[in-house]
Amino acid sequence: MEKTFLMVKPDGVQRNLIGEIVGRFENKGFQLVGAKLMQIPTELAEQHYGEHKERPFFGELVDFITSGPVFAMVWEGENVISTARLMMGATNPKDSAPGTVRGDFAVTVGKNIIHGSDSPESAEREIGLFFNQEELVSYSKSSNDWIN
Ligand code: DAT
Ligand code: MG
């Protein structure tokens, strides 16, 4: 089954949105297979956002993502990578549709509440950066029969 890496950023944690965000993905029908509250070390933040190293906002991005605890998660489900991106909304909240996480809770691109992998390759890379294999749980729920 497809897996993706999602993370409630420091602004989402401070604004008490962990439960709201977890609830949206649970209600959708996806399954949580790993989660932890953590403080991201600078080196991990730089690796995670490596593709943006040359961008002018890279320093601010690393400072922001390490500014407080984040809630890192792995979710599983059919097409979970692309569907989670839709549920997050556009990167810049000024363009995020209402009903999406960013559209409902964020105003500015620098504080946009949630991260989600953008492709199967990034999902695999990001899950590997944040989680050990033993931290991911494989289990089945009877409700899955009513979803898939
Ligand atoms: P996403 O988080 O939607 O995958 P991204 O990978 O292009 O977006 O950028 C990573 C994060 O960097 C994004 O969530 C917020 C920040 N960011 C992106 N573009 C920015 C910009 N023009 N100015 C400031 N921060 C930006
Ligand atoms: Mg991205």
| pLDDT (tens digit per residue) in 28-78 | 999 999 999 999 999 999 999 999 999 999 999 999 999 999 999 999 999
Q: Residues lining ligand 1, judged by CB closer than 6 Å? A: 52, 57, 61, 91, 109-110, 112, 115, 118
Q: Where are the beta strands (DSSP E) in 23-143?
A: 31-38, 70-76, 114-116
> Does the predicted TM-score (pTM) go above 0.95?
yes
Give SS3 for 72: strand
CB 6 within 8 A of CB 116: yes
- 83: annotated binding-site residue? no
Residue 48 annotated as catalytic:
no
Return the amino acid letter for 92.
N
Nearest to 98 by CA among 137, 51, 90, 48: 90
Can you give the length of the chain in residues? 148
ipTM of the predicted assembly exceeds 0.85: yes
CB neighbour list of residue 19: distance below 8 Å, 6 or more residues apart: none
